[in-house]
Structure 1
Amino acid sequence: MVKKVLFFSDFGIDDNLAILYAFFNKEIKIVGVVADYGNVSKQDALRNAAYIQELTGIRDVPVFAGAELPLTGNPPQFYPDVHGAEGLGPIIPEIDIDLSLENFHGIKDVIEQNPNEIIIVNVGRLTSLATAFILYPETMKKVKEFYLMGGAFNEPGNVTPVAEANFYGDPYAANIVLNQTARRVKIIPLNVTSGSIVTPALINELDTYYNSVGSKVGKLVKPMFDYYYKFYKSRTPKLTGAPLHDVLTLWAVVNEDHVTYRDVPVKVIVNVGEAFGQSIGDFRNMVDKAEFPFHKVAVNFNYPEFIKDFFQTMKNSKSTEGNH
């Protein structure tokens, strides 16, 4: 059965690759996109979403303007060294859109029109998703499942020694989401997504294919990936590829049997200090656990299946383009 996904994203490189993965994947139907601040500004995220729409020809998927600032009140920090100035690596999108768009309320209609069918996948900061719980608590009860890319459990973070970027960017929002969801959230943390390494050789093979079939969408993949990989390689020279954190999170939605979860209590630290934004999971093998809300935290995934599926799915270009 096709999964209906409402996708919350801050449209950096791995977010854009995740959207393309969804575009090529016949088991995923994106029913709406919320563009947030995070890797880039909200305005750049909106523009990137519109650019992807233009290239894919999918104009019937609504794009909603998400949050511009975190609930912390601090100005957001962007990451051009990782994702490029525009969030697309070296690519400069040439497209004109209304950047003053304020239509976030539209997500309520999407959920209400598809009760108990929508899967929310959040791969950026959690500010917009937390806002949805604050504004539309009854509507949010009609969401079927929640998947979050965020946190780091029993492993180092990536923006501080203990904190991962999505939770660190707005830990207040992360806690709102984790405290308000009646159903257990599936969290795909950094310590798991860091294993979703895709190699330049695989990307080169895909690029050869895209050029052979004349895929305009596919031709985005290599320049974005190469920029992204260059950053990771400069930071960790031993890496043989780059982790596609957000692709893995979407992959988990349609490959449940290949992801291992633990049911654990989860909390995010909001006190300002060295632990700010740290995600804590009580993984102790004890009857009495910390009194935090329980959620499903991914601890492992089937890497060979991920790579095989990613490669096969991304080669759906020829049969998918032009059919929307």
Structure 2
Amino acid sequence: MKKLLIDVDTGVDDAQAIMIAMAAPNVQVLGITCTHGNTALENVCRNTLRVLKVCKRLDDVPVYRGSSEPLLGRVLRAADFHGKDGLGDAPDPEAPGLELLQSEGAVAAMIRMVDDNPGEVTLVATGPLTNLALAVKLDPSFPEKLKALYLMGGNTDSRGNTTVCGEFNFAADPEAAYIVLNQFCCPTYIASWEFACHNNLSWSFCDTWLAQDTEKAHFMKKIFKHTMKVCLELERFQKEMCAGVGFTPCDCYAIAAAIDDTFVTESEQVAVTVELDGTNTRGMMVLDYLDMLKKKHKVSIMKKVDLVKFKAMLMGALQ
């Protein structure tokens, strides 16, 4: 069994990623830690509990409240894309309450779970990296005790989706992204914004995916309606700025790669950092192809994936 610790800012694509992890037969999710990002922290916590409820996993997957704001700088939200509540503004009157959250804080829980399972835990982060940055500041040995780190975030071609040159998760806390990419020495795998766009799926597949007659599919169709509408309205822009149009479940790529070692079919090893000072480039991931940073630690930048396996994981998540 692979042991996963998942750090989220649960919007719609985080929900999709969590559901993939819940459906994976070879995975034990030790816990889910919540951070600010797509929506306010309290919404993230509620949304995570809602996803676990529909997956019937409230009893065995603990959820922890984490950082409510970035280390520095202004707070970013993605309400236009995910809805104000993060799940498409499609409320559930019977949603579980915040009393189900663990009393232990997210950062302390992360450190404890990794200490209890040294060398065994794969950490998957699909939101701003504030919790991870705080963990390494509290325990500098935290990264070396991880088995691996999988991130959805950053960009490789300076094509921003939030700022001129910044991807949302990194732009939402550039200092945290800088700390993680410069202080985490474990094997690190990054699903960047451009990578996700280049490996997207067709809307016809999305229709088939959502057409499954299950409680999970009905839930996903409900919360995904707002985001789908936004995506379809922006398709011309996406085609010009990235690699085409279609269904791009960004956070699912990181989860899929963490679950299946054969999922990524092409990647490149390169040293990276994050720009903190630029007027237009703050939060941009920098790839050091010239080895000017003289960093020993290289990350693995995902390039291509097995889309057949990806479709199967997504289909299975809603069954």
Same fold, TM-score > 0.5, yes or no? yes
1:195 to 184, 195, 198: 198
Offset, 1:45: 0.5
| Paired position in structure 2 for 1:172 | 175
| Paired position in structure 2 for 1:283 | 289
| Paired position in structure 2 for 1:62 | 62
| Paired position in structure 2 for 1:241 | 246
Offset, 1:147: 0.7
Encode CA deviations 1:16-47: one digit per residue, 9 max, x unaligned: 01111111221332211011100011110011
SS in 1 for 2:256: helix
1:10-21 alignment runs, 5 A limit = 10-21=9-20
State percent identity of aligned pairs. Answer: 26
**How many positions carry a matched residue from both structures?**
307
SS in 1 for 2:4: strand
1:250-269 alignment runs, 5 A limit = 250-259=255-264, 260-269=266-275
Offset, 1:240: 4.3
| Paired position in structure 1 for 2:98 | 97
- Larger deviation, residues 247-256 vs 98-107: 98-107
Offset, 1:290: 2.8
The residue identity in structure 1 corresponding to 2:267 is Y
In structure 2, how many angstroms separate the alpha carbons of the residues matched to 1:169 and 1:301?
Answer: 26
Aligned-CA RMSD value: 2.2
| Paired position in structure 2 for 1:116 | 119
Encode CA deviations 1:74-102: one digit per residue, 9 max, x unaligned: 34121111001211114213332248955
In structure 1, how many angstroms separate the alpha carbons of the residues matched to 2:74 and 2:158?
Answer: 27
1:1-324 alignment runs, 5 A limit = 2-58=1-57, 59-72=59-72, 74-94=73-93, 95=95, 96-98=97-99, 103-104=105-106, 105-209=108-212, 211=213, 215-237=214-236, 240-259=245-264, 260-284=266-290, 288-292=291-295, 294-314=297-317, 317=319
SS in 2 for 1:217: helix
Conserved in 1, the CA contact under 8 Å of 2:199 and 2:305? no
**Mind listing any 5+ residue stretches in structure 1 that lack a counterpart?**
318-324
In structure 2, how many angstroms separate the alpha carbons of the residues matched to 1:257 and 1:248?
Answer: 12
Q: TM-score w.r.t. structure 1 length?
A: 0.87
| Paired position in structure 2 for 1:322 | none
In structure 2, how many angstroms separate the alpha carbons of the residues matched to 1:169 and 1:203?
Answer: 28
Conserved in 1, the CA contact under 8 Å of 2:4 and 2:122? yes
In structure 1, how many angstroms separate the alpha carbons of the residues matched to 2:296 and 2:247?
Answer: 32
The residue identity in structure 1 corresponding to 2:281 is A
Offset, 1:311: 4.4
Runs (4 or more) in structure 1 with deviation over 4 Å come to: 99-102
In structure 2, how many angstroms separate the alpha carbons of the residues matched to 1:43 and 1:132?
Answer: 20
Conserved in 2, the CA contact under 8 Å of 1:119 and 1:146? yes
Offset, 1:196: 3.7
Offset, 1:179: 1.6
Q: TM-score w.r.t. structure 2 length?
A: 0.88
In structure 2, how many angstroms separate the alpha carbons of the residues matched to 1:142 and 1:8?
Answer: 17
The residue identity in structure 2 corresponding to 1:194 is C
Conserved in 1, the CA contact under 8 Å of 2:126 and 2:254? yes
In structure 2, how many angstroms separate the alpha carbons of the residues matched to 1:227 and 1:174?
Answer: 29
In structure 2, how many angstroms separate the alpha carbons of the residues matched to 1:100 and 1:108?
Answer: 15
In structure 2, how many angstroms separate the alpha carbons of the residues matched to 1:141 and 1:303?
Answer: 29
